[in-house]
Amino acid sequence: MDSQINLALLGSGYWGSKLAGEYLHLQEHIKNFNFFGIVDPDKSRLEDIQKKLNLSSSMLSDNVEECLYNHNINAIHVAVPNEKHFSIAYEGLCQHKHVLLEKPMAMNSRDAFKLARVAEKNGKILLVGHIFRFNSALSRAKEILENGGIGKINYLQLSWVDQLNPLPNRDIIFDLLPHPVDIINFLTDEWPSSIYVHSKSYKRPTEREKEDIAFIIVEMPDGKSAQITLSWIQPGIKQRLVTITGSESTMVIDTIPQDIFICNSTGKKNVTVAKNNTINSMITHFVNCILGKENPNNSSLVGAMTVGILSSARRSLSETRVVRILE
């Protein structure tokens, strides 16, 4: 348990700039939290975020190593490209810093579990940026499910589609699938027992592991099924939609506006949701975990298990077959 938190944010891209704004706001409301600054090797990005957020030069650095070895910094939020997650988080943990690591935790499950073990060994908080665990609509949906509000769950459908220009080395499985997989676990308290993936590339058909769409079927150990659709080439529609079909009703959760409605033979009913700022909720939770005020909701175990599912998904693609999880 730490009494004072000095946090640095690594990464100032699209997501990093959102996080920085929230951290600036957070330090105004938590007296023993200090937003130390932003680190990014890309000086042009630092200049952009400095202008956008009106930051002093003292809060900006292009030296990642200097940040990781700075003993005045005891917490870091890692929001760099996926392939750099493991190396930076590992060094941060080895330097006895608490870490909030964006998803995916690593590019393979071995590295993911290694991070979890180092955090445990050094007595540090390691949380993973599964931000939908802090979405009020999904939290309300979980309460409804636990109270039997739609009967027994039969199957789930999740649609994660958008029109995006992914980074050259970005993989749709490791980039988009973490959230649906984590949401299934969050809502059902179960991990998939098997997975099958079909995918296709329209924009980069000659490049390996550069799929634009993917259709995923997962089976759960208790008999439930889930179907997940991923797309980077959906013109005009951004969807983060979860549909849960139960024995008595169907529940639809639109996670972007945080809306829920339930349908059955008697009609459609809107569910009241106290909507929230999910970024603020996640980073506040991280700070409170370091301060010993809360227990982790988005733990390293959740992150590592999710990476294991992603690895099984890639194996299903490469071998064109259903893959048993932990096979």
Q: What is the pLDDT of residue 36?
A: 95
Q: What is the mean predicted confidence (pLDDT) over 5-24?
A: 96
Q: What is the mean predicted confidence (pLDDT) over 146-168?
A: 93
Percent of the chain with pLDDT over 90: 93
On the question of pLDDT at 71 being above 90, the answer is yes
On the question of pLDDT at 14 being above 70, the answer is yes
- Write the pLDDT tens digit of every residue in 223-240: 999 999 999 999 999 999
Q: What is the pLDDT of residue 166?
A: 73
Percent of the chain with pLDDT over 70: 98
On the question of pLDDT at 168 being above 80, the answer is no
Q: What is the pLDDT of residue 82?
A: 93
The CA distance from 239 to 82, in Å, is: 22
- Write the pLDDT tens digit of every residue in 28-39: 999 899 999 999
Split at pLDDT 50, 70, 90, the class of 317 is very high
DSSP secondary structure string, 114-137?
A: HHHHHHHHHT--EEE--GGGG-HH
Task: Name the architecture of domain 132-275+308-324.
Answer: 2-Layer Sandwich (3.30)
Task: Find out if CATH 3.40.50.150 is the number for domain 5-131+279-299.
Answer: no
Domain boundaries, the chain: 5-131+279-299, 132-275+308-324
For residues 135, 227, 326, 314, the Cα torsion angle rounded to the nearest 10 degrees is -100
Question: At CB < 8 A and 24+ separation, what contacts does 30-33 make?
Answer: 30/284, 30/287, 32/3, 32/4, 32/5, 32/291, 33/5, 33/7, 33/287
Average pLDDT, the chain: 95
Task: Collapse the DSSP code of 268 into the 3-class scheme (helix H, G, I; strand E, B; otherwise coil) and give the result.
Answer: strand
| Helices first, then strands: H and E counts in the chain | 10, 15
pTM of the model: 0.95
Q: What is the mean predicted confidence (pLDDT) over 8-30?
A: 95
- Write the pLDDT tens digit of every residue in 195-211: 999 999 998 776 777 89
Tell which residue, 244, 267, 266, 268, has the closest CA to residue 255. 244
Split at pLDDT 50, 70, 90, the class of 163 is very high
Q: What is the pLDDT of residue 199?
A: 95
On the question of pLDDT at 327 being above 70, the answer is no
